[in-house]
Amino acid sequence: MIKVGEVLVSDEIKEVEFMCHLEKCKGACCVEGDLGAPLDLEELTLIDQIQQAIKPYLSVAGLKAIAKQGPYLFDSDGEYSTPTIEGKECAYSKYDEKGMIKCGIEQAYLEGKTNFRKPISCHLYPIRVTKNNNLEALNYHKWDICNHACSLGKSNKVPLYKFLKEPLIRKYGSDWYNDFIKLIEKD
C-alpha cells in the first residue's frame, strides 16, 4: 500500500494495466452486480437536481424504476446507491443501437445538459473506494468482465492509474494526484 495524504492506495493500482474496452464488454459493469452504483452523500443532492435534465437520456424501464424506487436507495450494505431495473442494470443506463449500455447521466453531461458527469464510483471503476475512520482506501476490483480491458491496457502499456487520471483528480485534486505520481515513480 502507498499512503498519499489520508488515502491508502493498493499497489495493484500502480501495477495493473487497464483500458476500458466497451466494444467487448458492452458496459457490463453497469448491469452486473448485486446493487446499483455506490453514491457519495454529496452526490445525492446533485442527482435530485438533474432529474429533469437526464430524462431524455434514460430508458422507459429506467424512468419507471426511478419513479418507483426514488432517484437513489439506501441499500442493504448501509450505503446509498442508484436504483436498478429489476435488480440488474442501473436505472440511469440505456442500451444504444449496438447493444452497448451507456450512462444517461454522462450522456446528458457530454451534451452540456448538466454539470454532473456521473457518480464518482462509476468514473473511478475498477477502483473501489472504502472508508475507514479518517482514511480512504483505493483498491483494484478485479472482475472477469474486465478481462478485455486488462488485455487492451497491457497491449497499450497503460497503467490503471494513468487510465483513471481524470477521475482520480476529480476525486482528490491535482495536487494529490501529482504527489501520488511522485511517490510511485520514485520506486
Q: How many Å apart are CA 167 and CA 13, to the nearest integer?
A: 13
> So what's the pLDDT on residue 175?
97
What type of residue is 79?
A: E
**Block residue for cell numbers 494526484:** 177
Of the ranges 31-35, 171-175, 181-185, the best mean pLDDT one: 171-175
Hey, which residues does 4 pair with through a beta bridge?
A: 7
CA–CA separation, 47 and 41 (whole Å): 10
Q: Where in the chain are the domains?
A: 1-18+126-187, 34-117
The C-alpha torsion from 93 through 97 and 99 to 101, rounded to 10°, is: -20
The three cell numbers locating residue 155: 497491449
The mean pLDDT of the chain is 92
DSSP 3-state assignment of 138? strand
Maximum distance among all Cα pairs of the chain, rounded to whole angstroms: 52
The pTM (predicted TM-score) of the whole model is 0.91
Taking the alpha carbons of 73, 76, 78, 82 in that order, is the dihedral positive or negative? negative
Mean pLDDT of 102-110: 96
Q: Cell for 143?
A: 472482475
**What average pLDDT does this structure show over 66-90?**
92
Which residues neighbour 174 within 8 Å (Cβ) at sequence distance 6 or greater?
none
